[in-house]
A and B are shown apart, each in its own frame.
Chain A
Amino acid sequence: MWPQILSGIAIGSMYGLIALGFQITYAVSNTMNFSQGAFVMVGAVLCYSLNITWGVPAVLAVPVTLLLCAGLGLAVERWAVRPFARDGSNAWLLSTIALGIIAENLAMLTFGKEVRGYSSPLAESPVAIFGFGVFPLELLIPVVGLLAAIALRILFTQTLLGKAFQAVSENPETALLMGVPVQRLVACSFALSTVMAGLAGMLIAPIANVSATMGTLLGLKAFATAIIGGLSSPWGVMVAGVGYGVVESMAAGLLGGSYREIVGFAVVILVLALRPNGLFGRAHVEKV
């Protein structure tokens, strides 16, 4: 049972990391980037192309990839969300989904349709824990996820920037009157969210390989964990991600591979039925 729990925690931290991206933009602007899954793929594909195809050393390829992801996040907010979120419209839902599908197909045209292996010294020889083999990278992923959640927590509660984020989140009009650059902060939150997705993509690439379609299911599962986590706190989202990863990994291990998604998504429905606002969400109070 230990190996399932360990690999469940690793893959679950991955869901949590991607789900943090949903959480950030939702907290700041009440909008989300539904192409998060595609940006997981973009992170992996960009890093692979820089590092393997063009021979850029990894120490340089990783930050460059993250920078590119941040830039793309700004572009997503500017052209796929801002024009479609005016006057309370929900059209940004469709525009970001469309963007994700376009990104996936662009990757097929440029990167190719084949699945490529991305070997990493961290995912070659397993280390034994409780007598079971685990790749060092799988131990690194939860650490990175935890650090990301802590960093976000500090950013939001301890810094001036975080205060500005909160101000925008609570009342954008008032924040604007107080001199807070609302639009810039919203764009910033999208950049942060795509950076999270890109980071997740680079972390999972050596374990799950790189392909143009790698992000779709990851994005959907991350969204599910963001919802059952409650969307209100980075901790809740991270915990929900890890929990979901462990549940589906146990299902696959104990019942067989055919049960992984069946049990996983059944648990999502069950949690939503019992706690409609998610495990850690607060009930939405609407003043009339």
Chain B
Amino acid sequence: MAFKPRKRPVIRRRNFLKGVAGFGSAIALAKLTGCADTPSTSDASGESEAAPAADTAGATGEPVKFGLVAAITGPSALSGEAITRGLSVAVDEINADGGVMGGRPIELVIRDDESTPAKGVAAARELIEQEEVAVVFGGLDSPVSLAMLDVIHELETPYMGVWAAATGITRNDYEPNYAFRVSANDNIVDNFLMRYANQEKGASKVGLVLINNPWGESNQKGFEEWASEYSVDIVGIEKFNDGDTDISAQLSRLKDAGAETLLLVANAAPGAQMMKSLTRLDWDVPVVSHWGISGGRFSELAGQDAADKVTFVQTYSFYGDQSPAGERVLAALDEKYGLSGPEEILAPVGVANSYDAMHLAALAVDTAGSTDGSAVREAFFDLPTYEGLIKTYETPFTPDDHDALSEDDYILVQWEGDQIVPIES
């Protein structure tokens, strides 16, 4: 007989509940350790990923190391890739041009934080103590960068933010303050978006639609602070989660409250769900958004018609007429990564911010003439004029302002197809 008798597995309630508990804790564990969100093979890969300078013909001395702690794997992996590209293109230029400190090439050392604060802190410590990097660059996640501040200041090594926008990263309580940034700052973005909603969209009543996490809260604070400045009434604040498929009930409350414009803070996938819920309500309302929706395939997820209705903020666009620096970077991206045009540069702010940040950091090391953290920090206030990608930087940092970009450097953009295109304001 083909089928052998099988002893029937007996499940008594006690065994069954044991199993249920095991199932639950396994899922909880998987979520906690992030192993469900990242490939299991990635554990060690962060250690081996160093991007040696491709072209060191111009610089031959002992390398000066710069560190990067960013999301190389996980749901925000696109951001890590964009940052790595921006930094690497700048490193190639600097090294071809003779490096820093009289002929020493720059070497970029990359660590993966998997969007986890604890991993970011450990990586920053290892980079500074073992690799002796001169500057640590940060990634997309504000919680990771905020957590790294302690180690940065304990070991007195400058931090350079290229994406994470939380206000408290640069406006912190450390004295002296080692955190610098070439990126947006939530508080300034909130002012910028609130003013745009009021003055360009003519809204005196706005509704806030925020992702339910610390980033959403950081912007809630900013919006509430700036609303009074423009005599704008916040008629409702609705929060939603990453996996929500229908938030039309929350939105209809904002509609009933008379919101004339919606201010959105969320990443691409949840932001797209919010646009779909607007379609359900058949509510044609202007949406003004923070830049989270640019980190993924927003127009694919939301649908083209819905995506076209959103106006959002960026620091740079590779579309349209480019400065000489823009032409140079586009050519380098094409040659190094095979990106033949602006439509292939996903997460463009990551590339642009990191490119300028790397040049500024290299100038700081060069100006200091040393890799000593304290000397490099001082040198940031004393940089020569640098003609960068986003703008020409003249005294980008002062002891009172560690953000190189201000609202004058922000641009408003819209989707056209899957491309991010600036609008005339």
Chain B residues whose C-beta falls within 8 Å of the C-beta of A114 in the assembled complex:
78, 296-297
Complex CA distance for A227 and B21, rounded to whole angstroms = 13
Contact of A209 with B269 in the complex, beta carbons under 8 Å: yes
Say yes or no for A50: interface residue by CB 8 A criterion: no
Chain B residues whose C-beta falls within 8 Å of the C-beta of A134 in the assembled complex:
280
Contact of A252 with B303 in the complex, beta carbons under 8 Å: no
Contact of A90 with B11 in the complex, beta carbons under 8 Å: yes
Chain A 9-42, CB within 8 Å of chain B: the 1/0 string?
A: 0010000000000000000011100100000000
Contact of B5 with A258 in the complex, beta carbons under 8 Å: no
Complex CA distance for A177 and B279, rounded to whole angstroms = 60
Q: Which of B226-281 contact A (CB under 8 A)?
A: 238-241, 243-250, 252, 268-269, 272, 279-281
Measured between C-beta atoms, what is the minimum distance from A60 to chain B in Å?
23
Question: In chain B, what residue has the closest Cβ to A84?
Answer: B9
Contact of B245 with A257 in the complex, beta carbons under 8 Å: no
Contact of B73 with A113 in the complex, beta carbons under 8 Å: yes
Chain B residues whose C-beta falls within 8 Å of the C-beta of A207 in the assembled complex:
245
Complex CA distance for A104 and B26, rounded to whole angstroms = 14
Contact of A253 with B15 in the complex, beta carbons under 8 Å: no
| Main secondary structure on A side of the interface with B | helix
Chain B residues whose C-beta falls within 8 Å of the C-beta of A126 in the assembled complex:
279-280, 282
- Contacts known (A86-B7, A89-B9); A105 close to B39, Cβ less than 8 A: yes
Chain B residues whose C-beta falls within 8 Å of the C-beta of A124 in the assembled complex:
303
- Contacts known (A101-B36, A213-B37, A260-B244); A116 close to B297, Cβ less than 8 A: yes
Contact of A173 with B74 in the complex, beta carbons under 8 Å: no
Chain B residues whose C-beta falls within 8 Å of the C-beta of A30 in the assembled complex:
8-11
Complex CA distance for A117 and B244, rounded to whole angstroms = 15
Say yes or no for B300: interface residue by CB 8 A criterion: yes
Contact of A7 with B245 in the complex, beta carbons under 8 Å: yes
Chain B residues whose C-beta falls within 8 Å of the C-beta of A209 in the assembled complex:
269, 272, 301
Indicate which residue in B8, B39, B241, B296 contacts A257 across the interface (CB closer than 8 Å): B241
Complex CA distance for A213 and B34, rounded to whole angstroms = 11
Say yes or no for B19: interface residue by CB 8 A criterion: yes
Say yes or no for A150: interface residue by CB 8 A criterion: no
Chain B residues whose C-beta falls within 8 Å of the C-beta of A220 in the assembled complex:
24, 27
Indicate which residue in B18, B27, B238 contacts A90 across the interface (CB closer than 8 Å): B18
Contact of B9 with A182 in the complex, beta carbons under 8 Å: no
- Contacts known (A113-B74, A213-B36); A173 close to B303, Cβ less than 8 A: no
Say yes or no for A55: interface residue by CB 8 A criterion: no
Question: In chain B, what residue has the closest Cβ to A220?
Answer: B27
Chain B residues whose C-beta falls within 8 Å of the C-beta of A257 in the assembled complex:
212, 238-241, 244, 247, 250
Interface size class, chain A: 35 or more
Question: In chain A, what residue has the closest Cβ to B37?
Answer: A213
Measured between C-beta atoms, what is the minimum distance from B332 to chain A in Å?
25
Contact of A182 with B3 in the complex, beta carbons under 8 Å: yes
Chain B residues whose C-beta falls within 8 Å of the C-beta of A286 in the assembled complex:
12
Chain B residues whose C-beta falls within 8 Å of the C-beta of A29 in the assembled complex:
9
Complex CA distance for A175 and B361, rounded to whole angstroms = 76
Complex CA distance for A11 and B247, rounded to whole angstroms = 13
Complex CA distance for A22 and B36, rounded to whole angstroms = 22
Complex CA distance for A88 and B12, rounded to whole angstroms = 10
Complex CA distance for A167 and B247, rounded to whole angstroms = 46
Say yes or no for B52: interface residue by CB 8 A criterion: no
Contact of A217 with B303 in the complex, beta carbons under 8 Å: no
Contact of B30 with A101 in the complex, beta carbons under 8 Å: yes
Complex CA distance for A182 and B3, rounded to whole angstroms = 7
Measured between C-beta atoms, what is the minimum distance from B324 to chain A in Å?
33
Say yes or no for B2: interface residue by CB 8 A criterion: yes
Chain B residues whose C-beta falls within 8 Å of the C-beta of A116 in the assembled complex:
297, 300-301
Say yes or no for B75: interface residue by CB 8 A criterion: yes
Contact of B269 with A113 in the complex, beta carbons under 8 Å: no
Chain A residues whose C-beta falls within 8 Å of the C-beta of B248 in the assembled complex:
3, 7, 132-133
Complex CA distance for A173 and B40, rounded to whole angstroms = 41
Contact of A117 with B272 in the complex, beta carbons under 8 Å: yes
Say yes or no for A122: interface residue by CB 8 A criterion: no
Contact of A97 with B6 in the complex, beta carbons under 8 Å: no
Complex CA distance for A275 and B18, rounded to whole angstroms = 19
Say yes or no for B340: interface residue by CB 8 A criterion: no
Measured between C-beta atoms, what is the minimum distance from B385 to chain A in Å?
39
Contact of B249 with A4 in the complex, beta carbons under 8 Å: yes
Question: In chain B, what residue has the closest Cβ to A85?
Answer: B9
Say yes or no for A254: interface residue by CB 8 A criterion: yes
Say yes or no for A176: interface residue by CB 8 A criterion: yes
Chain A residues whose C-beta falls within 8 Å of the C-beta of B250 in the assembled complex:
252-253, 256-257
Chain B residues whose C-beta falls within 8 Å of the C-beta of A256 in the assembled complex:
238-239, 250
Say yes or no for B38: interface residue by CB 8 A criterion: yes
Complex CA distance for A258 and B240, rounded to whole angstroms = 6
Contact of A31 with B5 in the complex, beta carbons under 8 Å: no
Say yes or no for A216: interface residue by CB 8 A criterion: yes
Complex CA distance for A126 and B9, rounded to whole angstroms = 48
Measured between C-beta atoms, what is the minimum distance from A259 to chain B in Å?
10
Q: Which of B19, B26, B77, B245 has the most chain A CB within a 10 Å cutoff? A: B245
Contact of A258 with B36 in the complex, beta carbons under 8 Å: no
- Contacts known (A101-B30, A132-B280); A90 close to B239, Cβ less than 8 A: no
Chain A residues whose C-beta falls within 8 Å of the C-beta of B297 in the assembled complex:
114-117
Say yes or no for A119: interface residue by CB 8 A criterion: yes
Say yes or no for B22: interface residue by CB 8 A criterion: yes
Indicate which residue in B9, B74, B281 contacts A31 across the interface (CB closer than 8 Å): B9
Say yes or no for A94: interface residue by CB 8 A criterion: yes
Q: Which of B23, B78, B249 has the most chain A CB within a 10 Å cutoff? A: B249
Measured between C-beta atoms, what is the minimum distance from A105 to chain B in Å?
5
Measured between C-beta atoms, what is the minimum distance from B252 to chain A in Å?
8
Say yes or no for B147: interface residue by CB 8 A criterion: no
Chain B residues whose C-beta falls within 8 Å of the C-beta of A260 in the assembled complex:
241, 244
Q: What 16 additional pairs, Cβ within 8 angstroms, besides A133-B282, A208-B245, A257-B244?
A: A30-B10, A31-B9, A85-B9, A90-B15, A101-B40, A113-B75, A115-B297, A117-B272, A117-B303, A183-B3, A183-B4, A184-B3, A252-B247, A252-B249, A256-B238, A257-B247
What would be 20 A-B contacts, judged by CB atoms less than 8 Å apart? A7-B245, A7-B246, A88-B7, A90-B19, A93-B23, A101-B35, A105-B38, A115-B297, A116-B297, A172-B6, A172-B8, A183-B6, A213-B36, A217-B243, A252-B249, A254-B249, A256-B239, A257-B244, A258-B239, A261-B241
Of all A-B residue pairs in the complex, the 7 with the closest CB atoms, nearest first, are A253-B249, A133-B280, A257-B240, A117-B301, A93-B19, A117-B300, A7-B246
